[in-house]
Structure 1
Amino acid sequence: MWLFFFLFWIAVRANAKEPLYGKIVDKAVLTSDSVENHITSIEWKHGPDLAMEWYGDETFSYRQFKDRGRLNISNGELTITGLTPDDSGSYTVEINNKVTSNTQLLVISPVSKPTLSLWCEPEMTYCVLTCNGDTTGAEPVTYNWTSGDTTWSSTKEHNITKENNELWFSCAFENPVSSSSSEKVFNPFNKEPLYRKIGDEAVLTPDSVVNPIKSIVWIHGSSIAMEWNGDETFSYRQFKDRGRLNISNGELTITGLTPDDSGNYTVEINNEVTSKTQLLVISPVSKPTLSICCEPEMTYCVLTCNGNTTDAEPVTYWWTSGDTTLSSTKEHKITKENKELWFSCAFENPVSFSEFSEKVFNPFIKKEPLYGKIGDKAVLTPASAVNPIYTIEWKHGPYFAIEWNGDETFSYRQFKDRCILNTSTGALTITGLTPDDSGSYTVEINNKVTSKTELLVISPVSKPTISLLCEPEMTHCVLTCNGNTTDAEPVTYRWTSGDTTWSSTKEHKITMENKELWFSCALKNPVSFSEFSEKVFNPFIKKEPLYGKIGDKAVLTPDSVENPIYTIVWKHGPYFAIEWFRYGDETFSYRQFKDRGSLNTSTGALTITGLTPDDSGSYTVEINNKVTSKTQLLVISPVPKPTVSEWCEHRMTYCVLTCNGNTTGAEPVTYRWTSGDTTLSSTKEHKITKENKESWFSWFSCALKNPVSFNSSEKVFNPFIRDLTLMYILIAVCILLCFIIISYFMGKWIKGKNCIVFILMH
């Protein structure tokens, strides 16, 4: 008896029909095991319930099969589109009232891309690779492992040891409706590959070097690439023109890399293998595109980062939304819970990072506004097309804008002279846009609302200016991109410095670590992109001004020069001063520089003769279309010859000497006081007192100095010494007068005395 049941069970299992698997959203075709030549009736059941039936004339569909079921009356096939898990189950078909087959349909999800995790025993005796991923709703799932050209089925985990020489491993999920592979994980027991970009150079370095080096042999795969025998160097195959060997350390440099340069490189130094290097020459990743696929009932959507990664692997995927960036898989699943406005993805491999893809807006968030520029036109298009169209009504907010009744078109309010209606598509064109046209527009086609569009009419952005504010101790500075964005929002900011351009905020912070020569910003909104602002030079890169004397000449020299020089452009502020183009060997001078500017085309130096104050300002030079330096030229007058004025306190306790001179147009001016060989002070005024030893100097002189000239005053005698001298002179005069008076009267007296003597004698 037991033998009978065992044989019966084997027979049933042998005749059992395998389930039919279908992928969610895809279609399934259910067929009859046998078909009669003349079919008069067909009846398909899903479990105990009717799905579809046909009786020689009419077809009837039931439940979920009404819109998604199709019946082939010639062979009895049932096709179900847009599969959902609810479609799973047992399907039986009766043809001509006779059951002809029973089919088990299992609707499952496609497998997701797995990730490969690696765990190694602390002492590195073995490692475990685990194939991770959510298989909910995707069973039955099998695990496939790949390494190089070898693929095998295994379990979720795979153990490796030092005995495993494979370079890398990858795992894949597979179920009856799909398969997906993980990114590669390299063998932790092997040395990491050296990645380089096509066209770049690679430097292959031995792990250890023996000194002295007597011979070097580099082998690419099984063939010699370069060798040195202690005397001569020999290059082979593609390395003849692109290989360089450093005989002091054994390094091999390969320039102009191509994919053919990929492979294993071993080096023998002094006939002993010292290292093995895996070189992988790969392409840089390109900018990806982003596609979106949503489940019919909008329970979730899958974003896929697409792009040609041939020759660019291993590639990782980066996703961003707003300020958040994360590393993930090729696909990114979102639901109604995701509130991000948009998504973008990028590729990265060991040699490059791509631009981010264009943004894809969250389908769970309302439609993005339509932006229009003041004065331009906007085309508002229904979200879905209806054919034929009998009536069209466009409303601006609650009010009618334009309508068509199948015969006549009527326009209202501001739309009377500025609207065009396409009666075949329903599109509304509004010309000469004004801010009053902004608002919500709804369209009813054949009395049914088909879409809603938010129109925002905004101004184009203007050319911005940059303001600079530095922290007092110069630890950092903030550049602010200023511009009138009234009626122009939403505005984004773009910054540039040299060859680098990036999106950022209105403010950009810089520190002493920033070595860029200059910065510029631009404004962007959905309808326009401004010119970049004038350049603002880095305040942390300080260069002393160049001073020139009125009437003299100045030579402005670039900080750095590239050779050969193809173009030179000098600007004075925002205006061209002089330029030269190697092609044609022509020099062009502008404005005041026409007759006074000359250019040295071998060094880039600009010479300006007959300087005037109008020549002052900021000069920038672009050599080969790259800004190389900024020079501040200040044209000033020579200092005049100064004069010294004197003021003394009425009791002569102190005096103040002042150095006078018209320094207008001659700044910056410094002052210097001297007396004999002594330099006294450097201010405009010089104070002396009776107590100070300077009060015994016999004279004083002052001088004016600026970066282009020097001039000294005449000597001024010390007021304290001068007053004493005057007093001494007055005393001497008084003594002399007294002497004269006394001498006069003495003479009179002597003369009288002589007369008396004469008379007496006679």
Structure 2
Amino acid sequence: MPKLTLIRLCFWLCLARTVVSRDDLYLKVGGELVLKPDKSTVPDSISSILWKHGKNKVAEWDKDFGGLDIYASFKERTTLDQTTGELRISGLKKTDSGVYSVEFNSKLLDQTYTLSVFKAVPKPTITSSCNPDKTSCTLTCEGDTTDAEPVTYSWKVGASAWEVLDKQINVNKSDTGKSTNSYKYICKMKNPVSEEVSDPIGQRFGPKAVPKPTITYTCNSNKTTCILTCESDTTDAEPVTYSWKVGEGAWEVIEKWLIVSKSDTGKSTNSYKYICKLKNSAGEGEVSDPVGSVFYPEPSEVGGGWIVGVVVIVVIVALVAIVITVWLVWKKKKEYPQDTWIDFLRKYFGGIYGRMCGDAGNNQNTVALDTVYSVVGEKSSRDYSMNQNNNNQPTNTAKGSDRVQPEQATEASGSNSPTVQSKPEAGVLPGGVTEEQKHGV
């Protein structure tokens, strides 16, 4: 029993010695490894040294053979102090990771070195992805961590302390109780050999995109100067910058208002076209519709003038027609004083109607004189027919009008040609009835 206890004690002492003598080293790619063994455990003078990387030789020196050998990929970047046994390896590579051990005088030392080579972490950047309403966003701490793992991520929000979190975090618009969430966010990457901090970002939830503006304007009474305003609802979109483009000129950042003068172009109308646009940190908005000729009359004024002009023209034409009609009636009244105004109007408009019917009759082979008589009211169709039967001769007009011979009438009626009736002279009614006979004179 005492012998078994002694064996166990020796085992635990050896294990403890092994654990204590193990060194864990973390270095970055391109760095330098320096291993300094404790040669105090070697009672005799050192005559040979051998360093190994796992089972592979790194460097070997033997006093009896009088030479130093460097092996494989460690050549040209490894040195060995033959007095102290110190080993230096520069330009570390990821493949240099592993366990290193040393032998003095062909005796393995209990002390070993475990090397882990990492690539340094890059400086991270923060990217964000938000929902359409921009009420919630996902922030990502981005960076190429190839050969740099394991990497831990930490976040700092506003003035708070650093907190180890995941690579991505979710933030909400309601976090600050403000519409824009003015917090600034910073992230940090860290591995055993390095750490880097990102640039801060903020304003994740605002402002919203600027809308398409419209241009309104007001002018002085003489319309020589106008103030143009780039109008738009910029609620939750501020701060906003305003840009104007005049004619073919370049865009220019100005105020919301633009003052223009009629003399700007050297023309009386100022034919420039004006457009404006808005921009904020969320981006540039649409361009307004162009506005031009701001010094022309207002559309309402142009429309009102046009209507007034039409009314004036109509009134003038109507007055001229009335004057001409009155003059013609007055002139005919002097010719035929015995006629009343109603008689004259009947004859006047009946004559017009007769001429109209005569024109139509030229297309229908006959002239409906009966219709004319009916409209004029001077004689019925039946009386005219009887008068034609009783007097088979054409009636002479009071003033020697053209005669129509019976033979001509017969030939006309028997042919396909339209009947041509001579036009009664003024004062003579169809059928040979004169004005004097009509009135019993």
TM-score range, shorter chain: 0.3 to 0.5
Give the structure with the higher percent helix: 2
Give the structure with the higher percent strand: 1
Higher RCO, 1 vs 2 (CA within 8 Å, ≥6 residues apart)? 2
TM-score where L is the length of structure 1: 0.26
TM-score where L is the length of structure 2: 0.42
